[in-house]
Structure 1
Amino acid sequence: MPHLHTRPGDHDATVSLFIVRVDGPEPRLSYHLHRRARKLMMFGGHVEHDETPWAAVRRELVEESGYQPEQVRLLQPVVRIRHLTDAAAHPVPVLSSTACTSADPAHFHTDLLYALVTAEEPAGAPDTGESTDIRLLTRAELDVVPDDEIVEMWREAGRFILDEILPAWEPVAMDEHLSVAPLV
Structure 2
Amino acid sequence: MPHLHTAPGDHDATVSFFIVRIDGSEPRLTFHRHLKVQKLMMFGGHIERDETPWAAVLRELVEESGYQPSQVRVLQPIIRVRQLTDAAVHPVPVMSSTACTSTDPSHFHTDLLYALVADEPPAAEPEPGESTDIRLVTRSELDGIPDEEVVEMWRQAGRFILDEILDAWEPVDISTYPRAAPLVDW
- TM bucket normalised to smaller: over 0.9
- Give 2:131's aligned residue: 131
Shift of 1:177: 0.6
Q: Tell me whether 1:89 sits opposite 2:89 in the alignment.
A: yes
SS at 2:4 equivalent: coil
CA–CA distance in structure 2, aligned partners of residues 23 and 104 of structure 1: 40
- Give 2:182's aligned residue: 181
Q: Tell me whether 1:78 sits opposite 2:78 in the alignment.
A: yes
- Give 1:25's aligned residue: 25
Shift of 1:103: 4.5
- Give 1:172's aligned residue: 172
- Give 2:157's aligned residue: 157
TM-score, length basis structure 1: 0.97
CA–CA distance in structure 1, aligned partners of residues 108 and 2 of structure 2: 13
Deviation readout 1:26-51 (Å, 9 max, x if unpaired):
00000000001000010000000000
Q: CA RMSD in A?
A: 1.2
Are 1:32 and 1:40, in contact at CA under 8 Å, matched by a contact in 2? yes
- Give 1:63's aligned residue: 63
- Give 1:11's aligned residue: 11
- Give 1:118's aligned residue: 118
CA–CA distance in structure 1, aligned partners of residues 168 and 47 of structure 2: 28
Give identity over the alignment, percent.
72
CA–CA distance in structure 2, aligned partners of residues 18 and 134 of structure 1: 12
Kindly report structure 1 stretches of 4+ aligned residues shifted beyond 2 Å: 102-105, 179-184
Letter of the 1:151 counterpart: V
Aligned residues: 184
Shift of 1:106: 1.4
SS at 1:50 equivalent: coil
TM-score, length basis structure 2: 0.96
- Give 2:104's aligned residue: 104
Shift of 1:105: 5.2
In the alignment, structure 1 segments of 5+ residues that lack a partner are none
SS at 2:109 equivalent: strand
